[in-house]
Structure 1
Amino acid sequence: MPALHILGLIKASRADYKEAAILLGMAAKMSPEDPSIHYNFAKALMDCGSVEDSIRHHMKAVELMPNNPQPWLNYGEAQSTLGRHKLALELYLGNISRRERNKKNRLGYYSADFHNHAIGYLIAELFELHDRNRFELFGFSFGPARCDGTRKRLVEAFDRFIEVDDFSDLEVAKMSRELAIDIAIDLNGFTRGVRAEIFSYGAAPIQVNYLGYPGTMGASYMDYIIADKTLIPFDFRSHYY
Structure 2
Amino acid sequence: MNAPLPMNLIPTNIAAMDTELDIVALARSGGMALAAMVSHAEQLQRDGHAQAASNLYALWLAHHEDPRKHLVWFNHGSLLQQLGQSAQAQQAYEQALALSPDFAQARINLGLVLEKQGHTAQAIAAWAHLTGQRYAKDPVDTDMLTAALNHIGRVHENNRDYRQALEALEHSLLINPKQAGVIQHWVHIRQKACEWPVYKPLPGISKNEMIMATSPLAMLALTDDPLLQLLSAHAFVARTYGLKEERLCKVKQYHHPKKRIGFASGDLREHAVGFLLPTMLQGIDRELYEVYAYDFTMDDGSEHRKKLLGMFDHVRLVHTLTDRQAAERILEDEIDVMVDLHGLSAGARPGIFALHPAPRQGTYLGFIGSTGMPWFDFVITDRHALPPEYTEYFMEKPLYVEGSFIPLTPPDEKLPVVTRADVGLPEDAFVMGAFGNVYKITPEMFGVWMKLLKEIPDSVLWLIDDNPTTTENLKNHARLANVDLSKIKFTARTGHSEFNARLKLCDVFLDTFPYNCGSTSNDVIRAKIPLATQYGRTMVSRMGLSISKSCGSNNLISVNADEYFEKIVNFKINKIGKFNYSKPAAGFKLSF
| Interval of TM-score (by shorter of Structure 1 and Structure 2) | 0.5 to 0.7
2:241 to 12, 33, 45: 45
Counterparts in 2 of 1:197-208, with a 5 A limit? 197-208=351-362
CA deviations over 1:127-180 (Å, ceiling 9, x no partner):
134222211110111121231121111111011112211111111111000001
Partner of 2:309: 155
Query: How far apart are the structure 1 equivalents of 2:367 and 2:240?
Result: 20
Q: Mark the CA change 1:177 to 1:11 in structure 2 (over 3 Å): closer, same or farther.
A: farther
Q: State the 4+ residue runs in structure 1 displaced beyond 6 angstroms.
A: none
Counterparts of 1:1-241 in structure 2 under 5 Å?
8-10=180-182, 26=216, 29=228, 32=231, 38=235, 42-46=238-242, 49=243, 51=244, 89=246, 93=248, 95-97=249-251, 100-241=254-395
Structure 1 residues 41 and 220: CA distance shift in structure 2, 3 A:
closer
TM-score, with length taken from structure 1: 0.65
- Quote the Cα distance in structure 2 between the aligned partners of 1:218 and 1:99: 25
**Does the 8 Å CA contact 2:230/2:393 hold for their aligned counterparts?**
no
Contact kept, 8 Å, 1:25 with 1:41, in 2: the verdict is no
Indicate the SS of the match to 2:362.
strand
Structure 1: runs of 5 or more not aligned: 13-21, 52-85
CA, structure 1 residues 128+228, in 2 after alignment: closer, same or farther (shift >3 Å)?
A: closer
- The separation in 2 between residues aligned to 1:7 and 1:229, in whole angstroms, is 39
Q: Which amino acid in 2 is paired with 1:42?
A: A
- CA–CA separation in structure 1 for the residues paired with 2:323 and 2:183: 20
- Give the drift of 1:99: 6.8
What is the CA–CA distance in structure 1 between the aligned matches of 2:229 and 2:370, rounded to whole Å? 13
SS in 2 for 1:147: coil
| Other structure's SS at 2:297 match | coil
Query: For structure 1, which segment, 151-160 or 126-135, has the greater mean C-alpha deviation from structure 2 after superposition?
Result: 126-135
Does the residue aligned with 1:157 lie in a helix, a strand or coil?
coil
Q: Tell me the alpha carbon deviations over residues 29-53 of structure 1, each in whole angstroms, 9 at most, x when there is no partner.
A: 45959xxx95x8634332xx2x4xx
Partners of 1:143 and 1:165 within 8 A in 2: yes
Shift of 1:200: 0.6
The one-letter code sitting in structure 1 at the alignment partner of 2:262 is G
TM superposition score normalised by structure 2: 0.28
In structure 2, the partner of 1:66 is: none
Tell me, what secondary structure is at the counterpart of 1:226?
Answer: strand
Whole-Å separation in 1 of the counterparts to 2:308 and 2:381: 22
Return 5+ residue gaps in structure 2 as ranges.
1-169, 171-176, 185-211, 220-226, 396-592
Q: Aligned in 2, Cα 1:118/1:41: closer, same or farther, shift over 3 Å?
A: closer
- SS of 2:241 mapped into structure 1: helix
Helix, strand or coil for the counterpart of 2:262?
Answer: strand
- Paired residues of 1:109 and 1:186 also in contact (CA < 8 A): yes
In terms of Rg, which structure is larger?
2
For residues 51-87 of structure 1, give each alpha carbon's deviation from its aligned partner in whole angstroms, at most 9, with x where no partner exists: 4xxxxxxxxxxxxxxxxxxxxxxxxxxxxxxxxxx6x
How far apart are residue 100 of structure 1 and its match?
Answer: 4.4
Amino acid at match of 2:389: D
Paired residue total: 183
Partner-residue secondary structure (3-state), 1:9? helix
Change (3 A) 1:199 1:41: closer
Partners of 2:303 and 2:391 in 1: CA distance:
38
CA 1:230 to 1:171, structure 2 compared with 1: closer, same or farther past 3 Å? Answer: same
8 Å CA contact 2:337–2:358 kept in 1: the answer is yes
Provide the aligned C-alpha RMSD in A. 3.2
**Alpha-carbon offset, residue 6 of structure 1:** 6.5
What's the offset of the Cα at 1:193?
Answer: 0.6
Per-residue CA deviations over 1:96-118 (Å, capped at 9, x if unaligned) read 31674211111001111101111
Decide whether aligned partners of structure 1 residues 25 and 6 sit closer, same or farther in structure 2, where only a CA change above 3 A counts: farther
Task: Report how far residue 9 of structure 1 moved.
Answer: 3.3
Given that residues 114 and 141 in structure 1 are in contact (C-alpha distance below 8 angstroms), is that contact kept between their aligned partners in structure 2?
yes
Q: Distance in 2 between matches of 1:104 and 1:225?
A: 22
- Which has the higher relative contact order, 1 or 2, with Cα contacts under 8 A spaced 6 or more apart? 1
Closer, same or farther: CA 235–100 of 1 in aligned 2, 3 Å = closer
